[in-house]
Structures are given as structure tokens and as C-alpha cells.
A and B are shown apart, each in its own frame.
Chain A
Amino acid sequence: MRDVAVVGFAQRQMQEFDGSPTCVELLVPLFAECYEQTGWSRRDIGFWCSGSSDYLAGRSFSFVQAVDAIGVIPPVNESHVEMDLAWAVYEAWLKIQTGEVDTALVYAFGKSSAGLLRRTLALQLEPYTMTPLWPDTVSLAGLQARAGLDAGLWDEQAMAEVANRSLTDAEKNEYAVRKGGSSVADLLSRPMYADPLRKHDCAPVTDGAAAIVLAAGDRAREVRDRPAWLSGISHHVDPMSMGTRDLTRSPSTARSGAALDLDGVDLAELHAPFSHQELVLRRELGLGDDVRINPSGGALTSNPMFSAGGIRIGEAARRVWAGESDKAVAHATSGPALQQNLVCTLDASTGSTDGGDR
């Protein structure tokens, strides 16, 4: 396997983006930041991959238009996933493993505010017996939260603790669209939004984009003293149906985590768009109290569709660059109620003995 690291990361998040659903004008400055961080130009990027969905904002072929932000003379090696940025990272990591390229810039964008997000997402469900009922994202998460409450696996106090810690940490995140912690008692005194969920248990609708730069071996070392090495990456999927899986568990997260070496992890960025989902993820990944969870504030404070999962990887990576973490785990989710999950580790050391391509 080749050693591959995250060496660049840029993000923008906002409640409502006053711009087009192609987000080209949002991506251009993100790419500029990535070039500045790496000292590269677009011609140094071996592979490009984007994540987006036209359903989000009702614009067809927006990912084709978004390529304008790259500049394609001479032509570029480019791909797209109808998934979160984290899965674009996975494709780029694979591309680098093939040996065809040494560097990649992956990006994702989405203007969730153009439609009614919780309704639009019903189109990702099973089309015969689910979509015609238009089960919205919040309701499906509510069914999951209730299952855990009824089973005594968590209580509303534990959910509010997650929200309060996230809102407090988000005060230090300039991109968070919801921030400001108070107290668990204050949060619990707020009204129900979708019983058993209060507003602060649900991620805010967020517009935004993000970009991540990956590089192999010495290309990574020439950019940073402490590249965040992707020492493991794994993803799995659970059944779509809400009735055939235990909603209080996430076997796909557990299985992805089991494929990695999580020993020594000191920081986790978990993509939990609902407060109880963080509790599920912590359990499945076996994260102890000594692991710092979501110092960015996490998805509960800012959850741009198609980039929020990848942003977890970027947030974890920049803490490795800064020496705040020696080994971090990042997680991304997709689908209803934690159906699909990707987990990766970001390490200050490669684990390689020869320090380069193997």
C-alpha cells in the first residue's frame, strides 16, 4: 500500500448561500486556499473528484458546471460521486493506490436551502414502500432516537449533553452556523420540535462546500512537516429498511471501525447529524472518555449536505498538522438514520518502516 496523507483542507459553510446551485463562485476561493496551503497550482493535481447531488437544489448537471472552478485546459483527470465528500476521498485514495497519480483534490458542494431538505432526502429511500410516504429525515431520526430512549440506552439528558458540548465547541469555529452553549437544563427546557427531538438535537440546514487535498509519500512531505496520514479507511452499509435493523446500533460503523487500528486514537470527528447518533457512534467505535469528540462542534452545529462528512476528515487532519492530535479518527455518514458509514484514521506517523512507497 502507498502512504497517502491529507495535506490541504478548505471549507465554507453558511445558513443560506446567496449564489447559484453550481456553487462555482464558492469553489474558486476554496481551491485558491488549497493551492496556497500546498504551494501547488491546478497543474500539480493528478486527480479530481467531486461529491454533489442535483436533487438538492434542482439544477441538472451542476457537477459538470462546477468543473469550471478547476479550469480544464489542458484537460483534467476527473470523477464524481453522488455521495458525501468522504466517499470522494475514498475514490481518490484508491486512485492514488493504483499508482496512476500521486496527488488529488476532492471537493463537494450543496445548496440545501434551495429546497426543503428534510423532504428532498426522502428520494434517497426505498422507492416502493418508503418514498411514497415521504418520511422526512427528522422523523426517521426521531424513530431511531425513541428506540434508544425506550430501550434505556440513552436519555434526553445524554442527548442534551452532546448538543451543549457541540454548541460550546462551535463558538471557536468560524464556519459553524449554530453556536453558543448554555446548559443541559436550559436545553431540556426548550420545546419539542419532532418529539422526541428538540431543534438542538437536529443538525441545522446548511449550505456550503469543502475541498481536501491528498498526496502520496514524498509529495505529502514536501507540503507539510506533519502530514495527516490516512493510515486506514473503511466503509460499510446497513439495510435501507427501518424495520429490519436494530436502530439503536450501527453494525456498518462497528465493522468499519473493526477494520482499522483505533488504538491510541486521541481525537474523533464524528458525523452525527442528530445528537443521539453521536452516542451510537461512540459505542460502535469503542471510544473512551479520554477521546476528544468533535472539537469543531460537529454536524449538530453545521451540516452542509455532501461536504459535512468530508469536513470531519479535514477537521481531524488539521489538528494532526497542528500537533493537537497524534492519531485521530474521522467518520462520515449517509442515508437514513446512519445507514452508511465511512471511518478513517489520520495519523502523525505513517507506520511505514521505509518512509515511502511500499
Chain B
Amino acid sequence: MSRTLSAPVTVAFDYTRSTGPVLGRFLTGLRDGVLVAGRTSDGEVVVPPPEYDPVTHAATTDFVEVSPTGTVVSWSWVAEPVAAQPFDRPFAFVLVLLDGATKPFLHALDVASPDEVSTGMRVRVRWRAERTGAITDIEGFEPVTDPAPPAPGPRSTLDPVTGVVTPVALDYTYAASPEESAFYRGLAEGRILGQRCPTCAKVYVPPRSACPADGTPTTDEVELSQTGTVTTFCIVNVPFLGQRITPPYVSAYVLLDGADIAFLHLILDIPADQVRMGMRVEAVWKPREEWGTTIENISHFRPTGEPDAAYDTYSQHL
């Protein structure tokens, strides 16, 4: 058995960015099926155009169209493409010096094997049929063959491109720490496990790899009581995506008996407006057959009916 528990997780987000005038001009060109370069003060013709001149630092204002055909000046073979690259089959990343430009342009070349690529070979842009004003409007380069396909028609009647949306999704194997793993394995057996700091004797639940006060590894496992005290709470009134309980409901810090740090859980089986600091509560577990290595094994906490705890018993944990 691995020391730690792990699970796959995907972090995904669409990055929305405004382009500014220079990149907007370039991306508008791509949508129209033309390559727009910038001319710099030292006479270079650069694609994509730099937003500011590398020598004078003035905003780039001198634009020129360059050819969709050019020459490979460097290449690297991609034998094992990763997700969202221009092709899902082996291809080459290439630096292409487009005819009319003086600096090379980075994109992909669609050929089947490294034997079909060489520095100096002639290549040309293959446009995507549906273009949105993004670098991916170019599917990639392809070797020059005759006859040339027809160039895309002008689409200059559309508004200029002012923004791009770039979806990003990253896949991870997410591991819990050894101490967190022990906590989750305990939950799968109906137990709540914490650890005690050998320096200050504080008990942390969930356990941490080191005591945040002392920096000492927490070593002694402690099984905690399933009853505790509400130290502080909030009433959730705001709906949000993925919400499982109808508002209003209570999210609270519960200080388990024997623990020195409170942990967050739900307080149910009582009207939200009757929850109070010092209220004594107990864990309510889901049916055993639904348990896994997860905090969700505990459905919620509910009042025990005991008298409220005195403020002094939890005042150091607020």
C-alpha cells in the first residue's frame, strides 16, 4: 500500500484576456486569413508584432502583411503530443521565417515523421475553416505543394478582435500527506483521528505534517471524541454553484472534545437561527455502506441536547 492516498483531479479555467491594439490587430488578421507583422525601429519585420519597440519602447504602430509561406529555420519533433497541442498525432514544432518577415514565427508543422522535416524546407499556413481571432486559427503549417489552395476571402467588415478566451485544463494526481491519509483511512473505519504535537501537546484534527506553532512533526496519533462544541459559525444564505443544501443552513467550526483546533462542518437538525456559540454537537454518520476515505462519511453535526459549554472552555480556540 502506498504511504499516501491519492486521487485524480483536473483544474480547469477559461482565461479571458483583452488583447490591446497590437495583438488585437494581429489576431484580427488571423481571423481574416492574413498574417500581420510589426516593423520595428531597427528595421526588423516581426510576427506576431511586438506590442512595444524593443529599442525605442514606443508602441508598435507600423504594421505590414507578410506571406503565409515561408522557410523552416528550426524544428523539434513531438513524438508524444500532450493534450491541446495543435495535433494529437506526432508532429513538429517549427520556427518559420515567413516571406517578408525578418524574425521567425512559432507554430506546428503537420507531417507524419521526422524524415519529412528539414531546416530550409518550404512550408505554408493551413487556415482553419472557422476562425475566431486566435493563434489556433492557424491549424498548422504544411509542406508547400502545388497548386496552392485558394486564400481565404476578406472578412474586413467584422469588428476588430479585442479579446481572447483560452481554456486551460490541467490533470493532476493529487496526494494527501501521510498524516491526512491516516485521517481519511480512519474516517473509512468510523473514527476521527488527530495527532498531538510532541512539543506543545496541542492536538490537531485533521492532523498536519508539522505543528504550525512549533514546526515540529506531529507524531502521536489521537482518536478524538465524536462530540464537540460550536466555537463560531455562519448562516449560509447565498446560493452558489454546486450547493447541496437549501439555504439558510449553518456552517460551523466544531471543537471536538480533546482537540485544540476546530474544524469546519455543517450543523443540521436544528433551525439555523437557533445555532449558537457554545452549543454541544455530535457527529451524524451516513449509513456505513456509503463510507469511503472521505470527510463526507460524516453527514453533519447535530445538537446533543447537553447544556451549552461555558465560554472559557473554547475562548482560546476562536
Q: Which residues on A are within 8 Å of B, measured CB to CB? A: 18-22, 24-25, 27-28, 31, 42, 55, 57-59, 67-73, 111, 113-116, 118-120, 123, 127-136, 138-147, 150, 192-197, 239, 241-244, 247
Contact = CB atoms under 8 A, between A and B. Distances in A.
16 contacts: A20-B209, A22-B177, A58-B9, A59-B174, A115-B171, A118-B82, A119-B82, A128-B135, A129-B106, A134-B83, A144-B74, A146-B74, A146-B76, A147-B73, A243-B106, A244-B46
Contacts of A145: 76
A108 B78 CA distance: 31
A146 B119 contact: yes
B108 interface: yes
B46 A195 contact: no
B177 A25 contact: yes
B172 A19 contact: no
Contacts of A22: 177, 209
A114 to B, nearest CB: 5
Contact of B178 (A25, A116, A197): A25
Contacts of B134: 132
Given A72-B212, A127-B15, A146-B119, A242 B106 contact: yes
B184 to A, nearest CB: 12
Contact of B213 (A73, A147, A243): A73
Interface string B93-117: 1110000000111111000001000
A243 B74 contact: no
Contact of B93 (A58, A139, A150, A197): A139
B160 to A, nearest CB: 15
Interface in B214-261: 214-217
Interface string B13-46: 0010101000100110000000000000000101
A114 B171 CA distance: 8
Contacts of B119: 146, 150
Interface in B41-89: 44, 46-48, 50, 54, 73-79, 82-86
Contact of A132 (B54, B103, B135): B135
Interface of B: 2-4, 9, 11, 15, 17, 19, 23, 26-27, 44, 46-48, 50, 54, 73-79, 82-86, 93-95, 103-108, 114, 119, 134-136, 164, 166, 168, 170-180, 208-217
A19 B76 contact: no
Which residue, of B44, B85, B209, has the highest number of chain A Cβ atoms within 10 A? B209
Nearest to B216: A71
B214 A132 contact: no
A19 B46 CA distance: 46
Of all A-B residue pairs in the complex, the 8 with the closest CB atoms, nearest first, are A142-B76, A71-B215, A20-B177, A58-B172, A195-B77, A24-B209, A25-B209, A119-B82
Contacts of A119: 82-83, 170
B4 A19 contact: yes
A31 B86 contact: no
Contact of A69 (B114, B172, B209): B209
Contacts of A19: 3-4, 175, 177-178
Nearest to B86: A133
A119 B19 CA distance: 24
A287 B171 CA distance: 41
A20 B176 contact: yes
Contacts of A123: 168, 170
Nearest to B208: A68
Contacts of A244: 44, 46, 50, 54, 103
Nearest to A54: B11
Nearest to A56: B172
B213 A142 contact: no
Contacts of B48: 128-129, 241
A28 B106 contact: no
Contacts of B26: 129
A354 B175 CA distance: 52
A22 B4 CA distance: 13
Given A133-B106, A135-B106, A136-B78, A128 B164 contact: yes
